[in-house]
Amino acid sequence: MSKKQILRKKYYILRKKKYYKIDKEFFFPLIKLIRSNFKKKNLKLALYYPSNYELNVLKLLENDYIKNQNILLPAIEEKNNMNFYSWKKNQVLFVNKFGMLEPKKFEIKIPDVALIPILAFDIHKYRLGYGKGYYDRYLKKFKNILTVGVAFSFQKYHKLPRDNNDVRLNYILTEKGIN
């Protein structure tokens, strides 16, 4: 078993054990960051539909500022690619081949800001995901997206093993703030 596989297992179990519910205030530092970096009104904001004890980014939708933005969710495509599509809260979602929820695939959108799920992260803002590389491949294609990994502070690891496929995030948001 590789070091990454061992860490994935360890941090999945840790996240499941220590998971707790958050409220909309968790996202105040993110909203402040977005407002200071983007002046346009209709921002394309990519979320993920949480599962497996991932931090519940849907709480962000309770903030008035976010309600007016274009919300996107990822969908898995042919050849292990991923794209983002528009989604509104309470709109029907579909189950993909991995059992994850996806929006209706209508028109591909490229986000301005993307919230990225994390199993573990390090001080250098690298993340450990589930190992399929969907986000890394996507972010290598679209380099102008502001990326924010979303996690609990207990998911921090001192230095994750990484390779040439791993993409560094711009920020990490935890209950302790954004950096």
Where in the sequence numbering do the catalytic residues fall? 127, 136, 166
Question: How is residue 24 annotated by DSSP?
Answer: G
Percent helix, strand, coil in the chain, to 5, is: 30, 25, 45
- The whole-angstrom separation of Cα 58 and Cα 23 is 10
- The whole-angstrom separation of Cα 43 and Cα 10 is 36
Indicate the pairing of strand 146-150 with strand 171-174.
Answer: parallel
Backbone dihedral angles phi then psi of residue 101, each to the nearest 5 degrees: -85, 135
